[in-house]
Structure 1
């Protein structure tokens, strides 16, 4: 595939980043390039400022063959770029081809008008042919450098027949008028200093200069050698227009603009020759000059071709030649390039395979950390592994044996915990705490890294299986003895178990059973335990369901926190909802067991220090602060079956609360009275 793939010329600059500049536009080479363009102008100035060195050299054959040679080069370049335009359906390439064809046509007319070839003497046509051709070409040059949108590009392509036909007609008419003796003034002898186009030559110079600058801006976005060649050619053509304005026929300054024209077109031809030799093909030679939309389309074609090749290589390694041949024909590749593409495609397929498998390993590692149930983890992991590795199979140990199809494996069947070969696959042991827990069968042989990747997959699956079982054990243990939020915090970061705390605004909920002591005196201990379990079995899900964290069970009492350790935006209302729901559940219990005591609940909101309190040997998660003490006091004054809340809690809940004021209360341990309310409902 040609190395002039437009993907290599994509804009690599982002926000705040300078685009990459190839060697032709790096600082030192840019200076050399500028000097090359400045030297001809310096030579022109020296010749015009020193007439004694601006000597006349009149040699018609040399002039004729120079012109014919350069015109021929232009015709070839114009035809090649025209073919590229047709192949890519690109308006810019069409306009560039017209630059070369128009200058070639009029250059050829200028050569035919050389004295003593067709006409015996010089003529207006001889003097004007090349300036006219360069002026027409300058218009095409400017148009080719414009950032044509889709509508303008389509209009140019629709009218390409008129553009080419019109140019051909102008050349034919010009040839007849300037080469038939005596037909028009164009075939007559001009003044001694020759004829010119006046201001049109200056306009042409400006158009070439603007076109060169605009092409350089394109080059900054997507650097390419052919763009540099075109920029240099347009700059030299602008200098040729300037040199030709002096019309000192057959003097060295007159020959100078012929040489500038020659250098301009030979520079492009030489650049194309070098690039085609390096790539071994002319396909894609002028793609870098094309419009941005065409470059994107070409890039998409290459991407689709590579995807097609990679997909074909992955499906069948024995039938690659037809695909390589088809791609070679599509992109104009040589046999050697098709072979390189074939090897590159195979390498890309292997790399894609490796990337997919590494991606699968990353996903499996992530899933091993989320605490999924074992069966769900294995199903999801196996599905993902099969997408990347093929027909992967897994089986767990039962009675010390792993049954996988007709084969059975025991711990001693895996030497040094290594794999066992099974046809075109390897079977790796899965271990948990160093003991055989299962086996994993992975296909191998498609890529050189298969064995290593299979071992890595087996290791990852062993880790996932062990984590799932360990997580289940810890979760079961923790959740039975502490709030889920505290358990999650400890599992995620064991450092949260360290002694200490932080100041947090929270809502504390205290609840106990009024009459519990007298009830305990009347009944047997087993009935006390049954009663407490019934109440707590009803209360705990309600508190947890509203985002609360239960931090204490003390006999018949419990303390729950809201907004700690897990944060809640509406923690006061959440605590209120939980308290009302607890009373409703307690009423249902009392209705079936009339002698049972009833809940009384106190709620208060304020700042408190939350964290682990205790000693290095034994600690517990709790909250300390005045707001917690007040909640306990409000619970103590509450009547059975009611919920008493503090002023701060009511303020946070707002008008949603239906509450009856109890006035200012003097609470034990409080110097100032506390205003409290009986909460009856929450809207």
Structure 2
């Protein structure tokens, strides 16, 4: 019996798998194009056959639907913004701003429904949707191409609060402008393209959403997932809605007018469904930039540990031990995060780890970490005066480059920092005196003039062949 060498079979098997993969991808693209064209075909049919485009005027339905969809888009924007804050991801940040803009202007449009706040139609409220969609398109396009400009990412993250404020301000300004009927929004107007300005908005918005969809497809076609697919579908639907804005003319309250409104509703139903299906703690993980998942970062790390905690726990009840930990960490967490902008990475029994500049938006991370360490010891010294039997804390701070890398999957994902900077910080903490702060040389050189230290030269650190120079930190101006 003759046998075929497996080394000869392998290339043929690989070629077969490649052909099947390409065939599936081609079928997916073809099917997606057909689905994408259907709304435009339906819109054309309604416009070409007026008897299929009935007049359906329902103010209550209009207010409820767009109020709910606007609130949903705002909620998506908030959720995405929280993920962007936590991980420092510029793509998700820009998407969150796009969702916020759409949701906010949908809400403005809903409030302008006759019979809600005003009895008559007002032009500013009627054109709020295309204006909001255009603003959102700017952020959507930026999110699609931000990976090409990594130099812009730290600045965007630093200015995230300002950007959100600008979006919210634009909503409020448009509402006031429309309510006061200031020129050129003083007329009744319509949402359709009855003048060149709204037509131009629709054309530009359509192009931007289409380009964004194509770019997302090129980014994620080889690592397909429900959430990127939903973003692409959302952009396609919003592009088609902008086409509806451009071509429905004076067909307000007709079926063709309702259709492009329905496309906006569908876009956010798709996104909402996809986000709901993702793992709750990292719903936007599949959209993160590669530099969010893995990057080298200049950071400062702060380690804290309770001295003699094991002996204290031996002679104390579990309730007393829990009370000590709750008191210590109840002071530590808000001090590090709120006062100094750090992140508590984890508590491990009687130890804690905090990190500064994980998002690359804290150039003064060493100063923040040093000041946080001294402030922490000051607060704990006050606590010790009330509870002298409680164990004191020692703190180590170190600065330098570390690697942040995503580990895990659905169910548990972590973004730990690893490297010699982190390991040395842990060793410095173990050498720090009770109630003191020991900092590394890289931290010390970044502190301002007037910093008071006591040099601790040539320390022998476990796991390192060469001695380490460190400094007992006493004061930072």
TM-score over 0.5 (shorter chain)? yes
1:160 aligns with 2:160: yes
CA-to-aligned-CA distance 1:284-305 (integer Å, 9 cap, x gap) = 221111212112249xxxxxxx
- The residue that corresponds to 1:205 in the other structure is 206
CA contact (8 A) 2:127 2:191 kept: no
- The residue that corresponds to 2:175 in the other structure is 175
Q: Give me the TM-score of the superposition, normalised by structure 2.
A: 0.55
- The residue that corresponds to 1:407 in the other structure is none
1:254 aligns with 2:257: yes
- The residue that corresponds to 2:51 in the other structure is 52
CA contact (8 A) 1:110 1:126 kept: yes
Moved more, 75-84 or 284-293: 284-293
CA contact (8 A) 2:97 2:136 kept: yes
Alpha-carbon distance change, 19 to 83 in structure 1, aligned in 2, over 3 angstroms: farther
SS at match of 2:281: coil
- The residue that corresponds to 1:264 in the other structure is 267
CA contact (8 A) 2:46 2:52 kept: yes
CA-to-aligned-CA distance 1:27-49 (integer Å, 9 cap, x gap) = 44443332221110110010111
Alpha-carbon distance change, 21 to 114 in structure 1, aligned in 2, over 3 angstroms: farther
Equivalent positions of 1:580-591 (< 5 A) are none
Using the alignment, how far apart are the partners of 1:193 and 1:218 within structure 2?
34
CA contact (8 A) 2:238 2:264 kept: yes
Equivalent positions of 1:289-308 (< 5 A) are 289-297=287-295
CA contact (8 A) 2:141 2:209 kept: yes
Cα distance, 1:122 vs. partner?
A: 1.8
Stretches of structure 1 that go unaligned for 5 or more consecutive residues are 1-13, 277-281, 299-322, 342-683
Cα distance, 1:169 vs. partner?
A: 1.1
Using the alignment, how far apart are the partners of 1:121 and 1:22 within structure 2?
56
- The residue that corresponds to 1:466 in the other structure is none
Cα distance, 1:86 vs. partner?
A: 0.5
Cα distance, 1:18 vs. partner?
A: 6.5
Using the alignment, how far apart are the partners of 2:90 and 2:34 within structure 1?
33
CA contact (8 A) 1:148 1:291 kept: no
1:145 aligns with 2:148: no
CA-to-aligned-CA distance 1:339-398 (integer Å, 9 cap, x gap) = x99xxxxxxxxxxxxxxxxxxxxxxxxxxxxxxxxxxxxxxxxxxxxxxxxxxxxxxxxx
1:100 aligns with 2:79: no
SS at match of 1:36: helix
Alpha-carbon distance change, 240 to 28 in structure 1, aligned in 2, over 3 angstroms: same
SS at match of 2:219: helix
Cα distance, 1:324 vs. partner?
A: 11
Alpha-carbon distance change, 291 to 220 in structure 1, aligned in 2, over 3 angstroms: same
Using the alignment, how far apart are the partners of 2:36 and 2:19 within structure 1?
24
Equivalent positions of 1:253-332 (< 5 A) are 253-276=256-279, 282-297=280-295
Using the alignment, how far apart are the partners of 2:347 and 2:29 within structure 1?
42
Using the alignment, how far apart are the partners of 1:326 and 1:212 within structure 2?
44
Count of residue pairs the alignment pairs up: 290
CA contact (8 A) 2:199 2:245 kept: no
Equivalent positions of 1:615-626 (< 5 A) are none
CA-to-aligned-CA distance 1:530-568 (integer Å, 9 cap, x gap) = xxxxxxxxxxxxxxxxxxxxxxxxxxxxxxxxxxxxxxx
Stretches of structure 2 that go unaligned for 5 or more consecutive residues are 1-13, 297-344, 355-404, 415-477
Alpha-carbon distance change, 161 to 173 in structure 1, aligned in 2, over 3 angstroms: same
Alpha-carbon distance change, 115 to 22 in structure 1, aligned in 2, over 3 angstroms: farther
- The residue that corresponds to 1:507 in the other structure is none
Q: CA RMSD, aligned part only?
A: 3.5
Using the alignment, how far apart are the partners of 1:263 and 1:286 within structure 2?
20
1:113 aligns with 2:116: no
- The residue that corresponds to 2:90 in the other structure is 91
CA-to-aligned-CA distance 1:498-546 (integer Å, 9 cap, x gap) = xxxxxxxxxxxxxxxxxxxxxxxxxxxxxxxxxxxxxxxxxxxxxxxxx
Using the alignment, how far apart are the partners of 1:43 and 1:226 within structure 2?
27
Bigger Rg over Cα: 1
CA-to-aligned-CA distance 1:628-668 (integer Å, 9 cap, x gap) = xxxxxxxxxxxxxxxxxxxxxxxxxxxxxxxxxxxxxxxxx
Alpha-carbon distance change, 115 to 286 in structure 1, aligned in 2, over 3 angstroms: same
Cα distance, 1:201 vs. partner?
A: 1.2
Equivalent positions of 1:665-676 (< 5 A) are none
Cα distance, 1:184 vs. partner?
A: 4.8
Cα distance, 1:131 vs. partner?
A: 0.3
Using the alignment, how far apart are the partners of 2:22 and 2:127 within structure 1?
39
Q: Which has the higher contact order (CA 8 A, sep 6+)?
A: 2
